[in-house]
Structure 1
Amino acid sequence: MPGSGSAVVFQGMLACKLLATVISLTIDEKRNNKYSHVLPEILRSQEEISIFFQIFISYFMKTLFSLKRSLNLEIFEINLKLKAWIKI
């Protein structure tokens, strides 16, 4: 069942997307001259952030599948209880 780990992974995904937005604005042609001295480092960071995002989303999807499985089992159990109750 998802818990605080899922929240941490979601926060990581959000942070990656926010950083990606800042980076894309920073490397924009309008600002390229201003940050050209750190451009290689920024591009390297962009690649690393993309990798982290893929890792985070992989964990998050596993959590969602776990949640779906748990919910399906709970719904199944509720249905069984309702069917047993109706037969009484």
Structure 2
Amino acid sequence: QGPKKKLVTMTVDTNNIDVTNDEAILKDKKCVGYITSGGYAHHVKKSMALGYVPPELSKHNSTLDVEINGKLYLAHVTDKPLYDANGGKMKN
């Protein structure tokens, strides 16, 4: 059967607020998971979050909603690293 939930990385479309933890993840207004942690990812200049969702929603470019302080924000699942994986910024 496999796991019921998968840990995913998401970028969140917000400019003035970041997720922290335990926020709801929704798909079609139905709660499908929760945020474990998040914050601002300086390398990509976006708010990001880690959270658990059903495997069918864990694919790259899947879109979800994240509830922060009662408002919904669009989130995009990504399989790309949100950091300078090869250390290029340190070499410049």
Structure 2 length-normalised TM: 0.23
Higher helix share: 1
Larger Rg: 1
Q: Which one scores higher on RCO, CA 8 angstroms, separation ≥ 6?
A: 1
Instruction: Write 1 or 2 for the structure with the bigger share of strand.
Output: 2
